[in-house]
Amino acid sequence: MRSGLVLHTFLNLPRDHSTHPQSARAEVLLPGGSCEQSEPSVRSPRLLRRTLSGAIRHRGFLLLLFLLGTIPGVYLPIPARALTPDEMTTIAAFEKVAPSVVNISTEICEPEYFYCAVPSKTGAGSGVVMKEDGLIVTNHHVVASAKNIRVTLTDGRRLNAEIVASDPNEDLAVIRVDPGGRPLQAIVFGDSDKVRVGERVFAVGNPFGLGQTLTAGSVSMTGRSLRDEGRIMRDLIQTDAPINPGNSGGALVNSSGDLIGLCTAILSPTGTSIRIGFALPSNRIRAITPTMVRPWPKILGWTAALLVAVWFIKKVYGRRAGTYPPGF
C-alpha cells in the first residue's frame, strides 16, 4: 500500500463472494479525500481469512506479549535510535576528557575570622590533570586563601590536595594529590594558536558544585583582553559555551577532546552565564606551569644574567678607570 492511502478491507464481506460479486469491493481513501472503488481479486478474501485465523491460533502468544508489557519492571525491547554524527563527536570528546577533569572543593580561611582557627566559608571549582603522578592545574582564585582542598575524581575517589605553586597575575595555580597505586589520566594538550573563530568547543567542569558537567558552544573570538581586579589578562579565548561559577579551572576542549583553554572568567551582570566566557590558552599554560613547579631554572637564569651584567659593568668601568691620571 502506498504512503498516504487508507485501505478499508474486507471485514464485513459475506462468506460466499461468488453469489455477491457486487459486494466484494474495497474503498480507497486518496490523499485528497476522494474515494475510489476497486475490484479485488477473488483470492484476497481467502488470504485475509487465513491471516486472521493464524493470528487467532497465536492469540496466546499475543496475550503473553500484552501481559508482559503491563507488568511493572518488565519492558519489551525498543529499537535503539541511531546517533547523529554530531552527537557521536560530542560523546567521544566528553569520554576522552572526562577522566582528566576533577572537581575541587575548598574551605576558605579569612584572617579576620577567629584568626583562621576555623574555615569561614566553602568554595567549589574545577581542575585539569597535567601529569599521572597527581599534578593538577587550576585557577589561582579557586584555591586562594584555602585552608583545606579536596579533589574528587571521576572514579569517585576524594583526595586531599596541597598547593605547589600559584601565580595571581596569570590566575594559575598548581596543586598536587597522591593517587597512590592508581595513577591519574593526564589531559591531552591541543595547540591554542591554531584555534579559529567558529570552531566547536566543549566546556567540562563543576558548575555550582553540581559535579562534572558538559556544555557546548563555539569560539566567539581569540586574543581577547579582560581587566579583572586591577590586572589585565591578555590573549584570552572567548566562547559562548555556558560557563558558570564552579567552572573555573575546568577544561575547554575542541571537538577532538584536546585541551585548548582553561575556563577562567565570565562577563555577566548577574554572576551566571550569559554565554560570554573566557579561557586561558593552553599554550600559555604549557609554557608557564613548568616554571611554577620547578622555579630553579628560572632563578638560575636570572642569577646568571645578573652575574654577566655585573661582570660587563666592571669590565667597562675598570678599563675607563685605568685611563684616568692618578688621583683624578
Based on the domain organization, do 53 and 100 belong to the same domain? no
Q: Which member of 248, 258, 273, 282 is catalytic?
A: 248
Q: Are 212 and 102 in contact (CB under 8 A)?
A: no
Question: What is the distance of C-alpha 77 from the center of its chain?
Answer: 31
Based on the domain organization, do 101 and 161 belong to the same domain? yes
Q: What is the rounded average pLDDT for all residues in the chain?
A: 80
The predicted pLDDT at position 66 comes to 61
Whether residue 102 lies inside any domain: the answer is yes
Task: Kindly state the percentage of the chain with pLDDT values over 70.
Answer: 66
Q: What is the C-alpha to C-alpha distance for residues 83 and 92, in angstroms, rounded to an integer?
A: 12
* 192 DSSP assignment: G
Whether residue 313 lies inside any domain: the answer is no
Based on the domain organization, do 205 and 157 belong to the same domain? no
Confirm whether 100 is a catalytic residue.
no
Tens-place pLDDT, residues 87-102: 999 999 999 999 999 9
Q: Which member of 100, 140, 141, 192 is catalytic?
A: 141
Q: Which pLDDT band holds residue 26 (cuts at 50, 70, 90)? A: very low
Q: Which pLDDT band holds residue 311 (cuts at 50, 70, 90)? A: confident
Q: Are 208 and 126 in contact (CB under 8 A)?
A: no
Whether residue 303 lies inside any domain: the answer is no
Lowest pLDDT segment from 158-167, 209-218, 253-262, 301-310: 301-310
| pLDDT at residue 217 greater than cutoff 70 | yes
Based on the domain organization, do 210 and 121 belong to the same domain? no
Whether residue 311 lies inside any domain: the answer is no
Read off the CATH number of the domain in which 196 is found.
2.40.10.10
Residues facing 254 on adjacent strands: 201
Q: Give the CA count within 13 Å in the CB-facing half-sphere of 115.
A: 0
Based on the domain organization, do 269 and 207 belong to the same domain? yes
Based on the domain organization, do 198 and 172 belong to the same domain? no
Based on the domain organization, do 64 and 106 belong to the same domain? no
Tens-place pLDDT, residues 187-214: 999 999 999 999 999 999 999 999 999 9
Based on the domain organization, do 283 and 196 belong to the same domain? yes
Read off the CATH number of the domain in which 146 is found.
2.40.10.120
Q: Which pLDDT band holds residue 53 (cuts at 50, 70, 90)? A: low
Tens-place pLDDT, residues 142-151: 999 898 999 9
Q: Which structural domain range is residue 140 located in?
A: 94-177
Whether residue 82 lies inside any domain: the answer is no
Q: Are 217 and 203 in contact (CB under 8 A)?
A: yes
Best-predicted range by mean pLDDT (19-28, 131-140, 225-234): 131-140
Judge if pTM exceeds 0.85. Answer: no
- The residue ranking higher by pLDDT, 236 or 272, is 236
Based on the domain organization, do 172 and 206 belong to the same domain? no
Angle formed by the axes of helices 43-57 and 59-70, nearest 10°? 50
Domain tally, the chain: 3
Task: Kindly state the percentage of the chain with pLDDT values over 90.
Answer: 54
Based on the domain organization, do 62 and 149 belong to the same domain? no
* 230 DSSP assignment: T
Based on the domain organization, do 219 and 279 belong to the same domain? yes
Based on the domain organization, do 146 and 224 belong to the same domain? no
Whether residue 84 lies inside any domain: the answer is no
Q: Which pLDDT band holds residue 48 (cuts at 50, 70, 90)? A: low
Confirm whether 16 is a catalytic residue.
no
Whether residue 143 lies inside any domain: the answer is yes
Residue pointed to by grid coordinates 486472521: 52
Segment holding 160, helix H or strand E: strand 158-167
Q: Which pLDDT band holds residue 13 (cuts at 50, 70, 90)? A: very low
Confirm whether 228 is a catalytic residue.
no
Q: Which member of 126, 140, 166, 171 is catalytic?
A: 171
- The residue ranking higher by pLDDT, 116 or 154, is 154
Q: What is the C-alpha to C-alpha distance for residues 265 and 171, in angstroms, rounded to an integer?
A: 10
**The domain boundary residue, chosen from 70, 85, 120:** 70
* Residue among 129, 286, 280, 277 nearest 215 (CA): 277
